[in-house]
Amino acid sequence: MRVVGIRRSHKNLKEEDGPPVQKAKRRKKEPTGLRMPPSAPPGSDACEVAEHYLAFHENDFYRARSEVKKRSRRVVVGSAVLSGLIAVTGASIGIWNVPQLGIATTAFAGLAGVLAAWDGHFRHRELWIQRSQVLGQLQMLRREFDLSLALGEDRAKLGSWTLERLNGILQGDLETWLEIRHKTSDNDRQIGHGHGG
């Protein structure tokens, strides 16, 4: 699923922040976790409250998805580069009879192991897929919300319905995230037992 952009969710960003994708490029490390939304402005009606939280979560999932996608891509490329370096240095030892390159091969293998452990712990690809699915659900909710608003549906009922659906999406996201973390914990325990831990 390709995400082109989010219509209303950028309105809370300051002008100097730029769009979320550009903002992520300027920062060294962007957290992949989700943030707590600020409270809706005082005096908002039910529809405005629903729109406030929907816009916040659209933007936050877009940001988190972009960052975790970037990290997933780095793992794949880094693993491929390290594998290539291991192969080249290993072949160089035999061709040019330079046993000192064995140290470089060992270092590259160690880096590949660290990269694999980091990815195994954080499960970047699974999080990327999860964030993409939730973002798709949020965008569908946005379209339904906008259409209902345009059709002149009762604002109190629409706000209540939208928040109920939003809470359902966020609850599903939490459950999926907990499943991913559970898999990570199981893998960490298996690795520890496999090495005498």
- Domain spans, the chain: 45-194
pLDDT at residue number 153? 97
pLDDT band at 143 (very low <50, low <70, confident <90, very high): very high
Longest Cα–Cα distance of the chain, Å, equals 80
pLDDT in tens, 118-140: 999 999 999 999 999 999 999 99
**Choice among 24-28, 88-92, 153-157 with the minimum mean pLDDT:** 24-28
> 83, 137, 74: which is closest to 111 by C-alpha?
83
- What is the model's pTM? 0.74
pLDDT at residue number 36? 94
> 58, 7, 13: which is closest to 166 by C-alpha?
58
CA distance 55 to 107: 46
pLDDT band at 50 (very low <50, low <70, confident <90, very high): very high
Residue with more model confidence, 4 or 75: 75
pLDDT at residue number 192? 59
pLDDT at residue number 14? 43
141, 165 in Cβ contact below 8 A? yes
Q: What angle do CA 82, 85, 91 make, to 5 degrees?
A: 140
**Choice among 10-24, 54-68, 103-117, 149-163 with the minimum mean pLDDT:** 10-24
Nearby residues of 139 by Cβ (< 8 Å), 6 or more positions away: 3, 6, 58
pLDDT in tens, 53-69: 999 999 999 999 999 99
Length of the chain: 197
pLDDT at residue number 181? 85
- Is the per-residue pLDDT at 196 higher than 50? no
3-class SS at 1? coil
> 131, 149, 164: which is closest to 34 by C-alpha?
131
pLDDT band at 99 (very low <50, low <70, confident <90, very high): confident
Q: Average pLDDT of 147-174? A: 97
What percentage of the chain carries pLDDT values higher than 90? 71
